Amino acid sequence: MKELPNKIYNFKSSDKEFHQSYDDTTAKDFANFCSPFVCLICNGKNVGKTRIAKNIIAHKNLPYENIIVYSPMENTTEYTDDIECEMINDINDVYGKFDRSERNLFVLDDLDMKGLNRKDQKILCNFLRFECTHNQVDLILINQSVYDMLPICRRIADYIILFSVPDQEFMKSLAKKFNVELDNFKYIFKHIITNKHDSLLLDEKGPPQNRFRKNLFEIITIK
């Protein structure tokens, strides 16, 4: 048996060969999110959540080869007007749709996850946890309220984009996740995110100095 050095050995995983790291390309374009990623866009009605999602797609340095969008509205053209994508309105239609050899994106727009039965919730949960990291699928999850999403969505999110002041409970969970004082969140939403269409981005993948941004690009300095 081959003798190994006294240090942690890195084993290569073919599942994760496509994983990107934060580099100069990402640093120059704050909306070019590192794959694989899970992005939550929530809190607010008619504030521009889809507009933000489209901007993230447009800024992707390596364009997606396969985009699937779930929407409960059968005949919506909100995405197809600007993006080449496949629309579905049954969440069960997405399973098995992604080829690991392609750059994939799944946009889950306005699904009442809490309204699914327990079996379907479990299937969706496993999909959200494993499809992203093992099958080269980036995920954008959009909803008017974070509480219509399963709790797993908040835990696995790399990017969270908020349009309105979250309630106290959600702010506390964000403060813990991003290691920031609760009063800083209150200050941001009182003095910086002041317009209905303004959004706060919380970025867990980038360097700490870029972690909080207004409207994707404007760095917010936390003192």
**Where exactly are the structural domains of the chain?**
55-157
Q: What is the pLDDT of residue 22?
A: 64
Is the bond leading into 36 cis (omega within 30 degrees of zero)?
Answer: yes
27 band by pLDDT with thresholds 50, 70 and 90: low
> Which residues are bridge partners to 218 per DSSP?
214
Per-residue pLDDT reduced to its tens digit, 129-156: 887 778 889 999 999 888 888 888 888 9
Q: What is the pLDDT of residue 192?
A: 92
pTM (predicted TM-score) = 0.88
| pLDDT surpasses 70 at 181 | yes
Question: Residue 170 carries which side chain, given as an amino acid letter?
Answer: F
Q: What is the pLDDT of residue 213?
A: 94
> Which residues are bridge partners to 214 per DSSP?
200, 218
Per-residue pLDDT reduced to its tens digit, 209-219: 888 999 999 99
Residue range 89-118: mean pLDDT, rounded: 89
The residue among 105, 102, 67 whose CA lies nearest residue 85 is: 67
Calculate Rg over the CA atoms of the chain. 18
Query: Phi and psi dihedrals of 59, rounded to 5?
Result: -85, 0
SS3 at position 70: strand
SS3 at position 66: strand
Q: Which of 5-9, 130-134, 172-176 has the highest mean pLDDT?
A: 172-176
Query: Average pLDDT, whole number, for the chain?
Result: 86
Lookup: tokens for 213:
């941004």
